[in-house]
Structure 1
């Protein structure tokens, strides 16, 4: 004859097992949701570019001398800002132009927003003129402007 086995299951063990099974299912659901949203977020950011990549120019006039300001852009980052045709008379008459542009360029390349640029008190007006010229070049690179 077969022996009868008696299995004793404590209520505490059933509760622990149910809790761990529920937490495991919740963890799996959260991981699936997190990774599915991650793929959707990357496609949304890829389509929302900030600039149209390329090289854009803007003109700045100082004492009847035109300076061409060149801005090199990626789709979401400013790579460089420089003056293309600066001659000795401009550097002599306006000695703060190049250091001011270098300061602004460093901040922009580091990822600071154009509206958040810190302007030094020593060259406040020069940097304001340069920022206006950079904003004009960035306006040309706006993807919204290209679609119209």
Structure 2
């Protein structure tokens, strides 16, 4: 998902939400400001459309990225989904998955601690987006296997992480 913005934009560090809005705009992805501290957008992944939210806390210089893959956890599957979440999170270096208590939605969450000036550069913004979508795409099948395929969490994770061998 390599992107080139104009030289001025690419070279400068910018307020986090402004940089993300420029990035979404350059890709032609829909997004909009919810308020001064929150930006919402949408990206098409390999399995589904992902709703993204970015929340900026200037006093802490933290940008929180939330990616919602439209996976709802029914009460009957909550225990298995939580077991899968724990196993999935063991596989991750950045961010984590959780079940949002309001609406029982699976979500990916990652907090970026920005420097003293509280700005975000293009490379970091692009990496954060790419990583969130990539992790959601990587584990989406495991959640589907547990929630709709009645696989055990271990079998679902093993099946989702199988890499194709050889060439077609």
TM class by shorter chain equals under 0.3
Larger Rg: 1
Q: Report the structure, 1 or 2, having the larger helix content.
A: 1
**Which structure's residues are more often strand, by fraction?**
2
